[in-house]
Structure 1
Amino acid sequence: MDSKDKILNAALKLFIKEGFHGTSTAKIAKEAGVSNGALFHHFKTKEDLISKLYIKTKEDYKSYLLDRMVSHKTSKSNIKQFWLNCVHWSLENMDCMTFYLMFSNSPYIDNLSKKEASRNFDFILELFQEAIDTEIIINVNLNLIINSFAASVQSFANFAKDNSDNLEENLEVAFRMWWRSIVNM
């Protein structure tokens, strides 16, 4: 692992544990086992570091999802597979998810970084738009559906942290609950 990755990993742990103001660059450098100079070689400011960490988190999430996308015959099956992939990423990357939830609306991450981090997520819009076009799900604003989807994923991940028994059964039930909220009846 190179020094930049060490810094990003240390920053992730410290930001979720101690917050933005409680985490100094000196503390990040020490945790990463690098000098302050090495940290500032890669990141101009703490704000730059947190923005880059935000972008990296979203890029890792997108790569995970795209690597696991399998085309199914129905929109429901495609959306379910996507939902399951999102849940599994959340469970496998709890620190990243916690960081994302803490800082996705933070003033320390500039709008340009937020736009860069959201680049190439059009496949999500396309997935839901196809289901709307074929009248499988209700025809509402895509952002409303996506926010409902994300809340469902996060809600289940929070539940699963403390309730790991019957995970597969609970995954099925949780998806069915969310699906019923958007299906076109």
Structure 2
Amino acid sequence: MAAAIRIIAQQGLGASTASIGKAAGVSNGALFTYFETKADLLNQLYVELKHRMAAMTTVDLPEGDPREQLQHVWYGLLRWADEQRLERQALAQLSVSKDLTDPSRNIASEPFAHVEALLDRCRIGGPMHNASLTFVGALVMAMADATINSIADDPAAAERHAAIGFDAMWRAIT
């Protein structure tokens, strides 16, 4: 999986299974001992990366105040993006893959169910109360991506970008 992350992050979805196998130190044929098809590899990798991201963004989620909880998830997401750059790049590629199946997307989203419920609670009295939760989630992720990119471009102001990004996201949904 580490080799697949690295190769897909660097070469995109068009990367060959041979190049992934070579990076993993196994033959192309041996790779298919573990995955029936390249699509199977991509689906399993997508699920694994989403679960890894969830582990870093939702661990030790505080009880109580929804703003504090969402802020915890926000900063966890920023930390994950900073510490796992190749995973983020690979996940960005995988997220648009036509090979991803609905079951894989569903399994990958399971660890985020409580975050979705949190977003749902936060938007109740705000301007997004009539928007679909899918739209709200996509908006939050777009704002997170913009914040992550700003931090990458200006690391000296990382804390300021993170705080401004969270405040903008919070005001947009509540």
> If the length of structure 1 is used for normalisation, what is the TM-score?
0.84
Aligned residue type for 1:139: H
Aligned residue type for 1:10: A
Would the aligned equivalents of 2:35 and 2:41 in 1 still touch at CA under 8 Å? Answer: yes
Aligned to 1:35: 27
* RMSD between superposed Cα atoms in Å: 1.8
**Structure 1 residue 53: Cα displacement:** 0.7
> If the length of structure 2 is used for normalisation, what is the TM-score?
0.89
**Matched residues in 2 for 1:169 and 1:66: separation?**
22
User: Are 2:129 and 1:139 equivalent residues in the alignment?
Assistant: yes
The alignment-based identity, stated in percent, is: 25
**Matched residues in 1 for 2:135 and 2:12: separation?**
29
What residue ranges of structure 1 are gaps of 5+ in the alignment?
A: 1-7
User: Are 2:38 and 1:82 equivalent residues in the alignment?
Assistant: no
Would the aligned equivalents of 1:65 and 1:86 in 2 still touch at CA under 8 Å? Answer: yes
Larger Rg: 1
**Matched residues in 2 for 1:91 and 1:159: separation?**
12
Aligned to 1:106: 97
Would the aligned equivalents of 1:10 and 1:31 in 2 still touch at CA under 8 Å? Answer: yes
What residue ranges of structure 2 are gaps of 5+ in the alignment?
A: none
Aligned residue type for 1:52: Q
**Matched residues in 2 for 1:98 and 1:175: separation?**
22
Aligned to 1:47: 39
Q: Output one character per residue of 1:23-52: Cα deviation in whole Å (capped at 9) or x when no partner.
A: 222211111112334311111111111111
- Write 1 or 2 for the structure with the bigger share of helix: 2
**Matched residues in 1 for 2:143 and 2:123: separation?**
19
Aligned to 2:51: 59
**Matched residues in 2 for 1:136 and 1:182: separation?**
6
Aligned residue type for 2:17: T
**Structure 1 residue 57: Cα displacement:** 0.4
Please list, as runs of the form range in 1=range in 2, the aligned pairs for 1:1-185 lying within 5 A after superposition: 8-21=1-14, 23-71=15-63, 73-133=64-124, 135=125, 138-140=128-130, 141-183=132-174
After superposing on structure 2, the runs of 4+ consecutive aligned residues of structure 1 that deviate more than 4 Å are none
Aligned residue type for 1:30: K
Q: Output one character per residue of 1:46-96: Cα deviation in whole Å (capped at 9) or x when no partner.
A: 11111111111011112222323122x422221112111111111211211
Would the aligned equivalents of 1:12 and 1:95 in 2 still touch at CA under 8 Å? Answer: yes
